[in-house]
């Protein structure tokens, strides 16, 4: 064990924060520059290449099943051969620069961004030679999915809810999900110092670096975990306390000017925008803090004689001062222009996150996913009644065509999960389906026809009807539009489908209906999507997507949002509605956002049990 590793944990933690304070200028400049380049150059260039190859391949869009077809096509493979190396390279550069800055920061040496960047570039030839496939999988998949965060170019990944949610409903699926996440976490832990070994020790091979990381971690998992968790927790506490103080001041102003509508509205707008901007600035330091923490732990465990990182010797303080003054005078105009561009770009990246949103004026639709499944089995009358009692705006339901051409309100084509009967919906008549008992946990119910659900919901709650297909349809679209019209339900429902062709057919057959396209994968081009609204899996929803949807006058609904923090985030981003298993939580989140800052702060503190 190295002597450095005998340092008490609290002193290690203090040293990490001192290092961050020592290097914060270089870090914030680098992160702002890198994020600006990502926003205006890297992402547009990657998007241009992707969409160009998409068009060359004859694909009109890039969503859902068409995206999957593109991926396995020749042009899709070419796209991966081009974009995967580019993305891997760019992500590696960000991590390696931060590691170099933190390494010299711990030594209390200042290193310029240009030397650090040039040093990062020197690793690229070996990156593409020794174990590139390993690097690509680690940086693009394992690191963001297992550790929960990634580089600027690749935000944190998670298994989409429509996959994890369905898997978790069965024992086998839950075990599979736990196994996948367990494998990801296992390798992320074992490869904690993989990048540090490459950058600091100059180990070129991915597999050799991986083995060295494993060796460095031996019997130190608990201590390392305590240090990492303590540092990140302390950082979050500081950020939250500063935010509470800021929001408290804003809340006081709101309280004093509450009766003056103009000033109250201005204070509310400033509070919302300032909060989002504050969180954005806080996130600029999150990954650098994480890297700084890992670097400190690595330096405590690794043999200092193995360090091969050699950058130009730092100049003396006087030399640096003279050189800095000369550079400032020489490049003063360029620096002003660069600073202006960075600030402007940052504002463009951050402020659209809340757009012109004012929760006091904007109505956000709350849709209970398959009804309120805490009150009854999914898609049953009991679940829909639960959604009514919860005061949801819509009950989202699924319909499938039966053997006799009716429409049953049920999600699964196979009935085994909910009824225990291994049969297909298309093999049974509506009457036969009604005889089956649906069971979910301790809740029971029956399968109903679409007409029965409409009759039950009329005047109490609107329906968001998802038309599902099983491949054995007889006259699906005509049957659906006939049932809607016979029940005079055109104004009390919206329609959606994963099948783009179904979306087009329903709109052509019943132009009076509001019809939406559900997307679970891809890069949507709102100008090419002919639908009245779009429904997107939550990992796909970004500020740029919402801005594009608004430009094309398409409401955006998000599914399936079950985390209250995520609900608040999406409401603040400006989505038009969410589909959730917990409508009461969604309604509460929307109400909190509609409050003034002081009331919202009080409610937030109550939720955190601070009061």
Better-scored residue on pLDDT, 327 or 234: 234
Please state the domain extents for the chain.
3-314, 365-583
Q: Tell me the pLDDT band of 213, cut-offs 50, 70 and 90.
A: very high
Helix (H, G, I), strand (E, B) or coil at 401: strand
Q: What is the dihedral of CA 570, 574, 577, 579, to 10 degrees?
A: -20
Report pLDDT digits (tens) over 518-564: 998 877 788 888 999 999 998 888 887 888 899 999 999 999 999 88
Residues in contact with 217: Cβ distance below 8 Å, sequence separation at least 6, in sequence order: 189, 190, 192, 193, 224
Q: Cα(575)–Cα(578) distance, rounded to whole angstroms? A: 8
pLDDT at 603: 47
Q: Tell me the mean pLDDT in the region 327-341.
A: 52
Here the tokens at position 68 are: 């999957």
pLDDT at 444: 95
Q: Which of 21-30, 388-397, 556-565 has the highest mean pLDDT?
A: 388-397
User: Among candidates 72, 204, 238, 87, which has minimal Cα distance to 150?
Assistant: 87
- Positions of E strands within 53-104: none
Fold designation for 365-583: TIM Barrel (3.20.20)
Q: Cα(211)–Cα(190) distance, rounded to whole angstroms? A: 9
Per the prediction, the chain carries an average pLDDT of 82
User: Among candidates 437, 368, 410, 417, which has minimal Cα distance to 169?
Assistant: 417
Query: Is 495 buried (19+), middle (13-18) or exposed (0-12) by CB count in 10 A?
Result: buried
Q: Tell me the mean pLDDT in the region 134-161.
A: 70
DSSP 424: B
Task: Say whether the peptide bond before residue 560 is cis (omega within 30 degrees of 0).
Answer: yes
Q: Is there a contact between 289 and 231 (Cβ–Cβ < 8 Å)?
A: yes
Neighbours of 529 (CB within 10 A): 20
Better-scored residue on pLDDT, 443 or 300: 443
Here the tokens at position 542 are: 């970004």
Q: Tell me the mean pLDDT in the region 15-20.
A: 90
H-helix or E-strand spanning residue 437 = strand 437-440
Here the tokens at position 323 are: 């050189």
| pTM higher than 0.85 | no
Strands 448-449 and 407-409: antiparallel
Question: Percent of the chain beyond pLDDT 90?
Answer: 40
Q: Cα(85)–Cα(443) distance, rounded to whole angstroms? A: 50
pLDDT at 38: 85
Residue 323 clears pLDDT 70, i.e. is over it: no
Q: Is there a contact between 512 and 493 (Cβ–Cβ < 8 Å)?
A: no
Q: Tell me the mean pLDDT in the region 422-451.
A: 96
Q: Tell me the pLDDT band of 158, cut-offs 50, 70 and 90.
A: low
Classify the phi-psi angles of 219: left when phi > 0, otherwise alpha if psi is within -120 to 50, otherwise beta: left
pLDDT at 357: 41
H-helix or E-strand spanning residue 462 = strand 462-467
Q: Tell me the mean pLDDT in the region 421-429.
A: 96
Residues in contact with 426: Cβ distance below 8 Å, sequence separation at least 6, in sequence order: 400, 401, 402, 403, 413, 470, 472
Buried b (16+ CB within 10 A) or exposed e, 323-353: eeeeeeeeeeeeeeeeeeebeebbeebbebb
H-helix or E-strand spanning residue 26 = helix 9-37
Residue 33 clears pLDDT 80, i.e. is over it: yes
Q: Tell me the pLDDT band of 610, cut-offs 50, 70 and 90.
A: very low
pLDDT at 322: 46
Which residue is it, tokens 């109490």?
Answer: 460
Report pLDDT digits (tens) over 468-485: 999 999 999 999 999 999
User: Among candidates 39, 37, 153, which has minimal Cα distance to 544?
Assistant: 39
pLDDT at 8: 81
Residue 312 clears pLDDT 70, i.e. is over it: no
pLDDT at 148: 54
Q: Cα(571)–Cα(575) distance, rounded to whole angstroms? A: 6
pLDDT at 583: 96
Helix (H, G, I), strand (E, B) or coil at 515: strand
- Can you state the angle between helices 221-256 and 261-284, rounded to 10 degrees? 160
Helix (H, G, I), strand (E, B) or coil at 512: coil
Kindly report the three-state secondary structure assignment for every residue of 531-589. CCEEEEEHHHCCHHHHHHHHHCCCCEEEECCCCHHHHHHHHHHCCCEEEECCHHHHHHH
Q: Is there a contact between 579 and 559 (Cβ–Cβ < 8 Å)?
A: yes
pLDDT at 324: 44
């Amino acid at each position: 064990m190295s002597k450095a590793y005998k340092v008490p944990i609290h002193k290690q933690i203090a040293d990490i924060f001192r290092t961050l304070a020592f290097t914060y200028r270089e870090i914030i400049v680098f992160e702002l520059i890198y994020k600006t380049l990502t926003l205006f150059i890297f992402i547009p260039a990657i998007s241009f290449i992707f969409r160009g190859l998409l068009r060359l391949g004859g694909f009109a869009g890039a969503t859902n099943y068409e995206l999957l077809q593109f991926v396995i096509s020749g042009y899709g493979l070419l796209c991966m051969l081009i974009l995967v190396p580019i993305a891997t390279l760019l992500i590696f550069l960000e991590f390696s620069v931060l590691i170099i800055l933190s390494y010299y920061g711990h030594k209390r040496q200042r290193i310029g961004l240009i030397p650090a960047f040039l040093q990062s570039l020197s690793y690229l030839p070996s990156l593409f030679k020794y174990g590139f496939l390993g690097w690509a999988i680690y940086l693009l998949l394992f690191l963001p999915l297992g550790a929960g965060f990634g580089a600027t170019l690749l935000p944190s990944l998670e298994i989409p809810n429509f996959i994890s949610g369905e898997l978790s409903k069965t024992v086998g699926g839950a075990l599979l999900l736990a196994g996948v996440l367990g494998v990801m976490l296992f390798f992320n832990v074992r490869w904690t110092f993989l990048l540090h070994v490459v950058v600091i020790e100059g180990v070129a091979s991915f597999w050799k670096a991986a083995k060295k990381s494993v060796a460095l971690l031996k019997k130190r998992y608990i201590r390392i975990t305590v240090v990492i968790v303590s540092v990140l927790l302390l950082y979050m506490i500081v950020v939250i306390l500063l935010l509470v103080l800021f929001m408290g001041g804003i809340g006081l102003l709101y309280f004093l000017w509450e009766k003056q509508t103009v000033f109250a509205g201005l204070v509310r707008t400033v509070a919302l925008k300032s909060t989002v901007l504050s969180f954005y600035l806080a996130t600029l330091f999150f990954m650098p803090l994480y890297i700084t923490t890992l670097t400190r732990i690595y330096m405590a465990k690794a043999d200092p004689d193995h360090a091969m990182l050699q950058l130009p010797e730092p100049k003396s303080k006087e030399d640096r001062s003279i050189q800095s003054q000369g550079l400032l005078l020489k490049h003063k105009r360029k620096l002003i222009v660069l600073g202006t561009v960075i600030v402007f770009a940052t504002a463009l990246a951050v402020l659209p996150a809340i757009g012109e949103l004012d929760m006091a004026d904007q109505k956000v639709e709350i849709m209970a996913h398959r009804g309120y499944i805490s009150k009854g089995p999914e898609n049953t009358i009991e679940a829909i009644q639960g959604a009514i009692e919860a005061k949801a705006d819509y009950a989202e339901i699924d319909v499938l065509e039966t053997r006799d051409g009716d429409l049953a309100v049920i999600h699964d084509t196979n009935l085994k999960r909910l009824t225990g009967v291994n049969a297909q919906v298309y093999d049974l008549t509506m009457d036969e389906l009604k005889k089956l008992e649906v069971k979910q946990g301790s809740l029971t119910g029956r399968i109903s026809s679409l007409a029965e659900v409409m009759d039950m919901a009329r005047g109490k709650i609107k329906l968001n009807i998802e038309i599902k297909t099983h491949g054995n349809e007889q006259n699906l679209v005509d049957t659906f539009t006939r049932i809607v019209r016979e029940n005079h339900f055109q104004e009390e429902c919206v329609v959606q489908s994963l099948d783009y062709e179904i979306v087009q057919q329903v709109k052509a057959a019943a132009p009076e209906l509001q019809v939406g396209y559900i997307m679970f994968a891809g890069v949507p081009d709102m100008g090419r999507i002919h639908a009245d609204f779009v429904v997107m899996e939550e990992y796909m929803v970004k500020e740029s997507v919402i801005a594009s949807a608004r430009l094309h006058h398409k409401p955006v609904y998000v599914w399936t949002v079950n985390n209250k923090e995520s609900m608040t985030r999406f409401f603040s981003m400006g989505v038009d509605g969410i589909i959730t298993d917990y409508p009461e939580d969604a309604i509460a989140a929307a109400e909190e956002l509609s409050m003034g800052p002081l009331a919202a702060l009080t409610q937030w503190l109550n939720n955190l049990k601070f009061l």
